[in-house]
Structure 1
Amino acid sequence: MSVRIITGDCRNIVPALEPFDCILTDPPYGETSCKWDRRVAGWPALVRPLLKSTGSMWVFGSLRFFMETASEFLDAGWRLSQDVIWEKQNGSGFMADRFRRVHEQAVLFYRDDAPWSGVYKLPQVTNDAKARRVRRQVGPAHTGIIGANVFESEEGGPRLMRSVMYVRNGHRQGTGHATPKPEELLEPLLRYSCPPGGRVLDPFGGSGSTGLVADRLGLDCTLIEADPATSALAADRLARVGGMFATMAAE
C-alpha cells in the first residue's frame, strides 16, 4: 500500500481520480483571516462521485462551519449519519467574552442514494468496561420499540468507543503545520469507515496525518494539497517514518 501526494487545487484534480472507499478530510473552516483558512466552495459536490456507494466521508469542522455550509452538503447529495467530538487540551477561541472552545467536530456523511445498512462500518471498542448488569426496558422512542433484555459487561472488557474523544492536539509533533490533526484521533475513524486494503482520499491533505495513519493501516491513500510548501512538509513527515509515498504536481 502507498500514499500519493498531489500538489494542486482539489477542484481541478478530483474529477480525474478513481473511486475511493472512504474520504477523511479537514477543510478550511473560514473562521479566521489567515490565508490558509479560506473556504473552498463546491468541493462536497465534486468528491461525491468519487465515493463508492458503500463508502462514507468524515469531515472535520466547527458547528459554525457546518451550519453555514449545510446547503453545500445537502444539495450535493450527502446525508449525515453521526458526529464525533474531539476534545483537546488547548482552547482555540479568540473571544474573551465566550466559553473557551476546546473541541472540534468530525461529521460522518454518506451518499443519499445508498442505504446506511449497506455502508461499510466497523464499530470501534475500548477495553475499559466496568463489570455491571443492566436491565433495559422496552423501547426508547428514538430507537423504536425494543424488547426488554439484560446486558452484562466484564471488568476491563470491550465497550463501544465514546463519541467524545480526548486527544492532545498535534502542535508538538513537529509537523510545521498550523493545525495538524493528531494521528491518534484519525486512526479509529479510518478503522471504522475503510475496509482492509481499501482506498482513502483526503482532498485537503495538510500536514499528511491522514496519509501517515493510512500507511500504518495498510491502506492506499491519495492526499491533495494546494500549497506547495505544505505538500513538501507532508512528504517530509512520511519520509521520516519510512512511509511508501509518491509526490506529483497537478497537470
Structure 2
Amino acid sequence: MEAYYEDGTVQLYLGDMREILPALGVTADLIVADPPYGETSLAWDRWPEGWLSTAAAYSNAMWCFGSQRMFFEHLDEFRAANWKLSQDVIGHDEDGEPIVGDVNVVWEKHNGTGFATDRFKRVHEHILHWYRGPWGGVHQDVPRTVYTGPDKHARARASRTPHTGAIGGHHYDDDGTRLMRSVIKVKSVRGGIHRTQKPEPLLLPLIRYGCPPGGLVLDPFGGSCATLFAARQAGVRAIAIEGHEPHAEAAAKRLAEPYMTDLFGGAA
C-alpha cells in the first residue's frame, strides 16, 4: 500500500478506510474520527456503513465528532462493534460503588449555524470518547491549563469526601495549573481545505489525552488532515485516510511545507 504522502511522522492514504485499514494492518493507540453525519442532502454527507466495526479492529480508543442526532441514530452500530461510551461504568471504588466516567467534550465555536427562531442558536459540537475492553487498557492523560486565580494550597485534613471513591486526608500543592475543562472554546476554521475542517488547537488536547508519547493516532476520515498537523504538534505519529483526492492533494501540499514550533510546545 503506497502512501499518498509520508514523512518521518505522518502518513496520508487515498481511498476508503474500509479498504485501506485492512491493507495497512496497523494498531493505533487512538482514533480521531469526524465521519459524515448523514444529516444533509450533500453528496459527500453519507454515513459510511460498517466503518465502526472496521475501526474497532485497529484501536480500542476513539474520539468521535458528531451531533446528538447522529449518535442516537447509530448507537446500535457503536454497541455492535463493542464501542462503549466513556460515561459507562469504568470501575468500582473501595466500597463497591460504581465509578462512572465522563470524558466527553463539547466544542464551543465562536459562531454557530442556523437562524431558526424557535430554537437556541447552535454553537457547539459533541466529541464523544469511546473505548473497547477494560477502561484501564486505554491511555488517559488529561491536559492541564494555566490557572491565574488565587492560590489554592490546602493542608492535610481527615475528611473523606465522596468523589469517585473516598478521598482521605491529603496535602495539596497548587502548581498553577488546572485540569482542562470539558467545554473547549476554539474558533471555527474559515477558508480551510475542507468545509467541516476542525481547528488544530481543538484536536491537540484530544490527542494528548488519548495517545501516549511515541504512540500512533489514526484518522479514518482525513478531510483537511488537521489531525496530522495536530499530531505533529503533540509529537506523535499519525495516519490519515481520505477518499476525495482534491482534499488529499491540498493536504499533502500543506504537509510538505516547512513547519515551526508553535505556542503549544510542538510543531505547526
Range into which the TM-score falls when normalised by the shorter chain:
0.7 to 0.9
Match of 1:200 in 2: 217
C-alpha contact (below 8 Å) 1:129/1:153 kept by paired residues: no
C-alpha contact (below 8 Å) 2:221/2:241 kept by paired residues: yes
Identify unmatched segments of 5+ residues in structure 2.
1-7, 87-102, 261-268
C-alpha distance in structure 1 between counterparts of 2:137 and 2:252, whole Å? 35
- Shift of the alpha carbon at 1:151? 6.7
Cα deviations by residue, 1:93-132 (Å, 9 ceiling, x for unpaired): 3533211100001111111xx2112211112111115323
C-alpha contact (below 8 Å) 2:193/2:251 kept by paired residues: no
C-alpha contact (below 8 Å) 1:203/1:223 kept by paired residues: yes
**Alignment of structure 1 residues 128-207 onto 2, 5 Å:** 128=147, 130=149, 131-132=151-152, 138-139=161-162, 143-144=164-165, 146-147=166-167, 149=169, 152=172, 154=174, 157-171=176-190, 174-207=191-224
- Shift of the alpha carbon at 1:35? 1.7
Cα deviations by residue, 1:128-148 (Å, 9 ceiling, x for unpaired): 1532367875325xx34x145
Q: Which amino acid aligns with 1:234?
A: A
C-alpha distance in structure 2 between counterparts of 1:241 and 1:178, whole Å? 24
**2:52 is the alignment partner of 1:44:** yes
**Alignment of structure 1 residues 84-123 onto 2, 5 Å:** 84-93=105-114, 95-111=116-132, 114-123=133-142
C-alpha contact (below 8 Å) 2:204/2:233 kept by paired residues: no
C-alpha distance in structure 1 between counterparts of 2:251 and 2:122, whole Å? 27
- Structure-2-length-normalised TM-score: 0.79
**2:95 is the alignment partner of 1:72:** no
Identify unmatched segments of 5+ residues in structure 1.
244-251
Match of 1:29 in 2: 37
What secondary structure sits across from 1:236 in the alignment? helix
C-alpha contact (below 8 Å) 1:121/1:193 kept by paired residues: yes
Match of 1:247 in 2: none
Q: Which amino acid aligns with 2:121?
A: R
C-alpha contact (below 8 Å) 1:4/1:223 kept by paired residues: yes
What secondary structure sits across from 2:85 in the alignment? strand
- Structure-1-length-normalised TM-score: 0.84
- Shift of the alpha carbon at 1:193? 0.8
Match of 2:241 in 1: 224
Query: Identity of counterpart residues, as a percentage?
Result: 45
C-alpha distance in structure 2 between counterparts of 1:95 and 1:62, whole Å? 17
C-alpha distance in structure 1 between counterparts of 2:85 and 2:51, whole Å? 16
C-alpha distance in structure 1 between counterparts of 2:195 and 2:115, whole Å? 16
Match of 2:18 in 1: 11
- Shift of the alpha carbon at 1:242? 4.5
RMSD: 2.2
Q: In the comparison of the two structures, how many residue pairs are matched? A: 232
What secondary structure sits across from 1:35 in the alignment? coil
